[in-house]
Amino acid sequence: MAANRAIGFGLQELPRIVRGEGSYLFDSAGRRYLDGSGGPAAFCLGHAHREVNAAIQEQLQRVACAYRYLFTSEPLEQLTAVILANCGDGFRHITFCGSGSEAMESALKIALQYWDARGLRAKRHFIARERSYHGNTLGALSVSGFAERRRPFEGSLLEVSFVSAANAYRPVGALADLANTLAAELDGKIRSIGADRVAAFIFEPVVGAAGGVVPAPDGYARAIREVCDRHDVLMISDEVMSGSGRCGTWLALEHEGVKADITAIAKGLAGGYIPLGATVFQDRIGAAIMQAHGTILTGHTYSGHTAACAAGLAVQGIIERDALLPRVRSNGARLKRELQNALQRFDEVGDVRGRGYFIGIELVRDRASAQPFPPERAVSHEIGRRAFQNGLICYPCAGHVGGRSGDTIILAPPFNATDAELSELIERLTTAVEQTLSAH
């Protein structure tokens, strides 16, 4: 029974899931849960969507998976075309995988292979940001500024340098000039290491679990793009959580009109129906690698998994057909505003932030000081537990202030959630916040 013990909310045992229906999940005891966070911001079309399930079933009846290095397939080719079209000019190469961690691992390997192809093998060093998370593999974990997840593996991680988090709620320096301040810090870090040794700078346009949905300040992506170009350093954008439409644009970086050199996507790509991730990269990178090596030296047994690509193609087709990204853009602003109004009466709600259907709520001792609660109070954990007991799934996170303190709640509802379901989300979360704060 040990495998059934809950690590999230301190329950004796995890409830047993039996079915899903749209924005809701149902357990074996008959309890219903509104999935207000899309699990870990993955389930962009909710659960048991009949069209997606039908596309998967149809593919399974033909062939479940053909080994990518022996065969191509119609779902893989069609999904590749959809992704590259959504990413826009410059992106011409893609490699598929099964998760966001693998997508980021591939991004690191592609960057290193690119510099090797150019004869610049000294460029092996990565720079990332504090309070970031890029995945569970040792490489992806190495570039994550997430102390509590790194600690058990220190000593076996890559040597990586870190710069400050890009957080307008907890800024480094003057808020009005935050983007330039952070860009100058990155510039200085590259110079101190030596641009001839730096392979890439890695960041999340909107930080997910490590910060509780933290959009970079306006102008930040453009400023760091200029720094990377100045020093011939690649820019890697981790859009595993924030991409594939979650922020109301297919790529989160569209907000600033900036393109990364390499972009990792996953979660919403296939909506959680079958695990699927991808790493997309610019033509000049792929062309250099192909000319020197003839192939991209990253991949897995299930890269380009046929049924997974069929699932991704169905999910992306529905999003396009039903115009869900414009809905996420317009409704996201309204959802954030209504959450702010509902939570305004709690002085402990310090910030409500985010883009599209990717919203973070930060809890503090009081709004004026923005001081975090002591970690032993586990405020976000308690809100998540109470919400879960009341039939709402949200995503509590902690530790973004100094590696130990700080409490946030992530909301990431399905793109096709109804207005009534969004209102229910607000009501149930507000109740959980009130119950938690009144208990102390």
Do residues 379 and 410 share a domain? yes
User: Which sign does the torsion angle of CA 84, 232, 97, 394 carry?
Assistant: negative
Residue at which a domain ends, from 299, 321, 343: 321
pTM equals 0.96
Do residues 64 and 20 share a domain? no
Q: What CATH number is associated with residue 412?
A: 3.90.1150.10
Q: What is the pLDDT of residues 295-343, one digit of tens each?
A: 999 999 999 999 999 999 999 999 999 999 999 999 999 999 999 999 9
Do residues 172 and 221 share a domain? yes
Do residues 192 and 146 share a domain? yes
pLDDT at 2: 39
Do residues 415 and 291 share a domain? no
Do residues 168 and 198 share a domain? yes
Do residues 42 and 86 share a domain? no
β-strand partners of 352: 361
Instruction: Please name the residues in contact with 241: beta carbons below 8 A apart, sequence gap of 6 or more.
Output: 40, 41, 100, 204, 206, 208, 209, 267, 358, 412
Q: What CATH number is associated with residue 92?
A: 3.40.640.10
Do residues 314 and 245 share a domain? yes
What does the CA dihedral 406, 251, 317, 394 come to, rounded to 10 degrees? 0
Q: Is the pLDDT of residue 13 over 70?
A: yes
Identity (one letter) of the amino acid at 21? E
Q: What is the pLDDT of residues 44-88, one digit of tens each?
A: 999 999 999 999 999 999 999 999 989 999 999 999 999 999 999
Please report which residue ranges of 202-323 form alpha helices under DSSP H: 220-231, 283-293, 306-321
Structural domain boundaries, residue 431 = 2-49+323-438
Do residues 267 and 128 share a domain? yes
Residue at which a domain ends, from 321, 355, 385: 321
Q: How far apart are CA 122 and CA 127, in angstroms?
A: 15
Do residues 76 and 166 share a domain? yes
Q: How many domains does the chain have?
A: 2
Do residues 131 and 27 share a domain? no
Identity (one letter) of the amino acid at 88? G
